[in-house]
């Protein structure tokens, strides 16, 4: 049948070889066993290396541990005594009231963080950053990098943090400054910040001082003085009792003593009245009567002056008992009517015109005294040609003195301030 099938299909095939089948089965088996043995050897080698490394580290740690127990300072030049000495040098005193130096390294809306070389940072609240009321520490010139001296005012027991203050140190300096100014008996400026039933409160050198109503020279109400600056003198400076008492009356007395007839001062228009303008001259009010504004007639004061205007005025008279001062710009005019047409020129020439006025007044007084002495020769005194009072001599000319420089009577009347009942 095989021959018939072969003849019918025309196919020929060689018999199967057992050798070829065996070879194909054996070779794959050998190829898969060889890589497996290589991986096993590598894993054993790695495990042995890690074990040796661990053992080596273990021996090192055990050796170090034994050395720490037996000789902890062996080979170390920095001894335990040196360590305690270093701690004493850097020992930080955190007691309240201690002054410390520090550097600001961060600021926020509520204050600033300060490095004072302590174990924790210290904090400077905004309320303790300045003696004045501020909303942010930057207003007091506090920025990161600022090195300053602070004082410890509080300690938090929970986290050992410290609270610092600059305000306390500034208060100490302000009290010292007030004591110095009191010893020198000087006049200072104080801004009115409040009032009570007994007087007003004025801010001086960052401190709130009390000015009794009896020590205020003007009759202004406390509300009218609010936010105004007044000249003040120290009456009592007691830091322990926190008492700072001031006087405006004493300061005004000193200022008034320096006011001379014919002197030029700078003032500010406070208010206008139909009869004149009230001028503030260093905390004291003076009256510039409408007739003393200009040689030309002034029908409406508001056309020449306004409240708040700054101007130069000359003192005509000063009643120290009543505290009244009469002023003039009329006497400062280079030509009549300049105060209306060109007030700037009047202020530029003020000192020059005032000097001329004083000379005329002095000459008039000298001539008046000379005339009196002419009719009283028994006094034995007279004026020389230079205006010097001396023994009676023949220096007085027989024809009399030259009175041509003396102002006419009507001009001299202008120098007389208006009577109170006329105002």
Which residue is associated with the tokens 């057992």?
18
The 3-state secondary structure of the chain, one letter per residue: CHHHHHHHHCCCCCCCCHHHHHHHHHHHHHHHHHHHHHHHHHHHHHHHHHHHHHHHHHHHHHHHHHHHHHCCCCCCCCCHHHHHHHHHHCCCCCCCCCEEEEEEEEEECCEEEEECCCCCCEEEEHHHCCCCCCCCHHHHCCCCCCEEEEEEEEECCCCCCEEEECHHHHHHHHHHHHHHHHHHCCCEEEEEEEECCCEEEEEECCEEEEEEHHHCCCCCCHHHHCCCEEEEEEEEEECCCCEEEEEHHHHHHHHHHCCCCCCEEEEEEEEEECCEEEEECCCCEEEEEHHHCCCCCCCCHHHCCCCCCEEEEEEEEEECCCCEEEEECHHHCCCCCHHHHCHHHHHHCHHHHHHHHHHHHHHHHHHHHHHHHHCCHHHCEEECCCCCEEECCCCCCCCCCCCCCCCCHHHHHHCCCCCHHHC
* Separation CA 29–CA 334 (nearest Å): 133
- pLDDT tens, per residue, the chain with 423 residues: 444 444 444 444 444 444 444 444 444 444 444 455 445 555 556 567 788 888 888 888 888 888 778 877 676 666 767 766 665 665 556 788 888 899 999 999 999 999 988 777 799 999 999 998 889 999 999 999 999 999 999 888 777 788 999 999 999 999 999 999 999 988 899 999 998 888 999 999 999 999 998 888 776 778 888 888 888 999 999 999 999 999 988 887 676 666 677 888 888 898 899 999 998 886 677 899 999 999 999 989 999 999 988 899 988 887 766 667 889 999 999 999 999 889 899 898 888 888 888 888 778 877 877 776 665 555 555 555 555 555 555 444 544 445 455 455 444 445 444 544 444
Whether residue 278 contacts residue 271, with contact meaning beta carbons closer than 8 Å, is answered with yes
**Would strands 285-289 and 324-328 be described as parallel, antiparallel, or unpaired?**
parallel
Other C-beta atoms lying within 10 Å of the C-beta of residue 15 = 5
Phi then psi dihedrals of residue 126, to 5 deg: -65, -30
pLDDT at residue number 157: 76
* Separation CA 292–CA 333 (nearest Å): 11
* Separation CA 401–CA 315 (nearest Å): 29
* Separation CA 318–CA 265 (nearest Å): 13
pLDDT at residue number 289: 93
* Separation CA 114–CA 102 (nearest Å): 6
For the chain, the maximum distance between any two Cα atoms, rounded to a whole number of angstroms, is 196
Domains, the chain: 98-170 (2.40.50.140), 185-254 (2.40.50.140), 259-356 (2.40.50.140)
Residue 224 tokens read as 């009218």
């Amino acid at each position: 049948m095989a021959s018939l099938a072969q003849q019918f299909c025309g196919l020929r095939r060689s018999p199967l070889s057992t050798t070829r089948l065996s070879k194909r089965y054996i070779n794959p088996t050998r190829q898969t066993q060889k890589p497996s043995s290589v991986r096993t050897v590598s894993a054993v080698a790695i495990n042995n290396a890690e074990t040796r490394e661990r053992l080596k580290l273990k021996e090192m740690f055990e050796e170090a541990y034994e050395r720490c127990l037996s000789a902890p300072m062996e080979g170390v030049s920095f001894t335990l005594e040196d360590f305690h000495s270093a701690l004493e040098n850097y020992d930080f005193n955190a007691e309240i009231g201690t002054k410390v130096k520090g550097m600001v390294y961060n600021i926020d809306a509520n204050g600033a963080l300060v490095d004072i070389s302590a174990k924790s940072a210290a904090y400077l609240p905004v309320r303790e950053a300045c003696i004045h009321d501020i909303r942010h520490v930057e207003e007091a010139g506090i920025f990161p990098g600022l090195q300053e001296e602070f004082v410890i005012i509080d300690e938090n027991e929970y986290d050992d943090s410290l609270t610092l203050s600059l305000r306390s140190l500034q208060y100490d300096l302000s009290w010292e400054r007030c004591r110095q100014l009191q010893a020198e008996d000087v006049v200072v400026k104080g801004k009115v910040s409040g009032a009570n039933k007994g007087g007003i409160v004025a801010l001086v050198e960052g401190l709130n001082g009390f000015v009794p109503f009896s020590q205020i020279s003007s009759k202004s109400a406390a509300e009218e003085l609010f936010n105004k600056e007044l000249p003040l003198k120290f009456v009592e400076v007691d830091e322990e009792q926190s008492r700072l008492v001031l006087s405006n009356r004493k300061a005004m007395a000193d200022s008034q003593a320096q006011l001379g007839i014919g002197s030029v001062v700078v003032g500010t228009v406070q208010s206008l009245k139909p009869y004149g303008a009230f001028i503030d001259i260093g905390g004291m009010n003076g009256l510039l009567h409408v007739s003393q504004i200009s040689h030309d007639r002034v029908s409406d004061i508001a056309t020449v002056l306004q409240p708040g205007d700054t101007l130069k005025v000359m003192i005509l008279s000063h009643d120290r008992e009543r505290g009244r001062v009469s002023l003039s710009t009329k006497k400062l005019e280079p030509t009549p009517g300049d105060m209306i047409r060109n007030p700037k020129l009047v202020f530029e020439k003020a000192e020059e015109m005032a000097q001329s006025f004083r000379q005329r007044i002095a000459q008039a007084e000298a001539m008046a005294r000379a005339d009196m002495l002419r009719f009283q020769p028994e006094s034995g005194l007279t004026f020389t040609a230079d205006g010097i009072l001396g023994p009676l001599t023949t220096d007085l000319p027989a024809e009399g003195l030259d009175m041509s420089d003396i102002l006419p009577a009507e001009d001299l009347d202008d120098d007389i301030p208006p009577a109170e009942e006329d105002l």
